[in-house]
Amino acid sequence: MAEYQTIRTGAQTRAAGVDEGLRAHMNKVYGTMSVGMIITALAGWAISGLAVDDAGQLTQLGTAIYASPLKWLIMFAPLIMVFAFGAAINRISAAGAQVFFYAFAALMGLSLSSIFLVFTGMSIAQTFLVTAIAFAALSLWGYTTKKDISGWGSFLIMGVVGLIVASIVNIFLGSPALAFAVSVLGVLIFAGLTAYDTQKIKNDYIQHAQAMDSEWLQKSAIMGALNLYLDFINLFMFLLSFMGQRE
């Protein structure tokens, strides 16, 4: 009986340690993501403010960015950085990964700055608020649900690839119907990815809690923050296509 009590106490202690570590890990994920969001917002706002003068005309900087081929580089550079980050995460330090993530967030702000030229500031703020509420609810559900949603992963990733291809094609076609379909599917796919990625971050920690070192934990949190950051940004952009009021 005493041996059983000892085993039970040890199991409870390990479970408590995992729970405490998981909370700290998730706080690190959400904290890193939040800092990235702030950097993106500040970079986007600063660039848009410099790009347009008081008369609503593009400044010299604005012309260099938005009325030149440079806009294509700015548009696709974040996508290239995401793939580069995934390939380099195992070779760089946790501090290097964090710097890379914040640099990516700043570049994403530059890429998204054009929304300030297209949509009103009020509609951007309203859409951001709606996105934040929806993201929080979806992420909370993904964290607390007992349902295993790991099977969603392959389907959702295939959906993202389809969205990228359709969006690139529509740059040249300019089809409103295709744009609407992409926006609807984008909202659904990234809503699902928000819940899926949150549960995956949680499960990865629980499965490897005993074996992970502090360096791995830090890089895992940064990678989780990147995934949730991308879910939020994409959910926001697709919702903005519905809710945004154009200038």
| Spatial contact of 153 and 196, defined as CB atoms under 8 Å apart | yes
How do residues 11-51 score in pLDDT, each as one tens digit?
444 545 567 888 889 999 999 999 999 999 888 887 776 66
The β-bridge partners of 246 are 119
Q: Read off the pTM.
A: 0.84
Look at residue 161 and give its three-state secondary structure.
helix
Question: How far is the C-alpha of 124 from the C-alpha of 107, rounded, in Å?
Answer: 19
How do residues 142-181 score in pLDDT, each as one tens digit?
999 999 998 898 899 999 989 889 888 888 887 788 888 8
Backbone angles phi, psi at 246, to 5 degrees: -80, 150
CA angle 141, 144, 148 (to 5 degrees): 85
Q: What is the pLDDT of residue 9?
A: 46
> Average per-residue pLDDT in the chain?
82
Question: How far is the C-alpha of 228 from the C-alpha of 200, rounded, in Å?
Answer: 11
In a 13 Å sphere around the CA of 6, the CA atoms on its Cβ side amount to: 3
DSSP 86-154: HHHTTTS-HHHHHHHHHHHHHHHHHHHTTHHHHB-HHHHHHHHHHHHHHHHHHHHHHHH--S--TTHHH
How do residues 66-94 score in pLDDT, each as one tens digit?
777 777 777 777 778 887 877 777 788 88
The β-bridge partners of 152 are none
Question: How far is the C-alpha of 27 from the C-alpha of 133, rounded, in Å?
Answer: 18
Tokens at 99, concatenated: 């710097």
What are the b/e assignments for 189-227, b being 16+ CB within 10 Å? bbbbbbbbbbbbbbeebeeebeebeeeebbbbbbbbbbb
| Spatial contact of 191 and 235, defined as CB atoms under 8 Å apart | yes
